Structure 1
């Protein structure tokens, strides 16, 4: 594992705390990828810079260290490289041999290798992750939770706003309860769309 340097692009370095542990990152884009992965799969284990792959080129031996290794809760394992599109284009000829070696190595181990850019990370689902992920372990009033689930079940697929208005408690408490239930997966919604008062809810 290589030491994480100071990021020259965004100066965002550090650790993200997720349910399965701390994850190091060296850019805002890497931080956002880890956040999104943890939101999509609560059981995913995300490891920064998990291995260094050495390979031969006509110019001599080289090495490549992927940004992340992810063990998904369904057992899949993949190496992930997180890059801004501009950096990928500018350095493609130098990066490509390492990527090709990583893809070949992972295929031999029944795993996979993936390159992820901001177009797949900076999406509405990321805003949902930022809002809801911190609430996944937040305290939840059992009675309010039961009431919210009953309302959604009775109404079919109400909007978030309709559910808030149907609850008898303070609107702030109602909204907080619904967000917590969404974060825990107890109320279903389309995570691909930005969460708002028009978001349709269902009982998981």
Structure 2
């Protein structure tokens, strides 16, 4: 399927994603690029916070004044704040887009910010990670009874070395298998269970490590734009 066809059929997808880093409890998105970038912002530990559509900029086009609203403003731990715009590769050379991004770059230069453009090409190195994050996010905000959490963590802490999700299900007979599975993905999303999220997750073969017994650093995903 061509990029143009993909964009025309799916760019209007809308929704919202629960957030732990935005002032909004639910962050709205319009289009697959924005949705993917929100997942990466939520996952990246170097991101302190972010805003979707933080403010509008005024800029001149001929004799009229136009408005442009960046898609995100991102606050990092060790980098300057960044304005981010999401656009498909086929659209980046359009005259109207170039004028908007020039206005954003000028604002950034005056306010000690950086500017980044996110396309499907810049997200391509994160493909496997994004598939995992979208799956894990389904389980990430499911309520977990304290007694269930304590029971599972006690079992996890008794395991010496890596284990698979299937093994943990077998070691928690007091819970329904589906309940344990959902809690496992919840703990992975929250970073309490560690695994290489740049590789496809599999219930039988994925190796998990409890953060309390981590002995080796996890591989880092490609740098976030």
TM-score band, normalised by the shorter chain? Answer: 0.7 to 0.9
Aligned to 1:81: 85
Query: Could you tell me whether the CA contact under 8 Å between 1:145 and 1:178 is conserved in 2?
Result: no
Instruction: Measure the CA separation in 2 of the matches of 1:164 and 1:23.
Output: 33
Aligned to 1:183: 189
TM-score (norm 2): 0.68
Secondary structure of the structure 1 residue equivalent to 2:37: helix
Q: Is 1:146 aligned to 2:147, yes or no? A: no
Shift of 1:175: 2.6
Shift of 1:74: 6.3
Query: Could you tell me whether the CA contact under 8 Å between 1:44 and 1:72 is conserved in 2?
Result: yes
Deviations 1:43-99 (A, max 9, x none): 754422222223346x3454422112233466853211111222224x2x4322332
Deviations 1:93-119 (A, max 9, x none): 432233233234224433221111123
Instruction: Measure the CA separation in 1 of the matches of 2:108 and 2:154.
Output: 45
Instruction: Measure the CA separation in 2 of the matches of 1:62 and 1:150.
Output: 61
Shift of 1:14: 4.2
| Root-mean-square deviation (Å) | 3.2
Aligned to 2:97: 95
Instruction: Measure the CA separation in 2 of the matches of 1:42 and 1:129.
Output: 17
Where structure 2 has 5 or more consecutive residues not aligned to the other structure, the ranges are 1-6, 212-225
Secondary structure of the structure 2 residue equivalent to 1:50: coil
Shift of 1:166: 5.6
Instruction: Measure the CA separation in 1 of the matches of 2:49 and 2:103.
Output: 23
Instruction: Measure the CA separation in 2 of the matches of 1:104 and 1:191.
Output: 37
Instruction: Measure the CA separation in 2 of the matches of 1:86 and 1:34.
Output: 21
TM-score (norm 1): 0.74
Where structure 1 has 5 or more consecutive residues not aligned to the other structure, the ranges are 1-6
Aligned to 1:201: 208
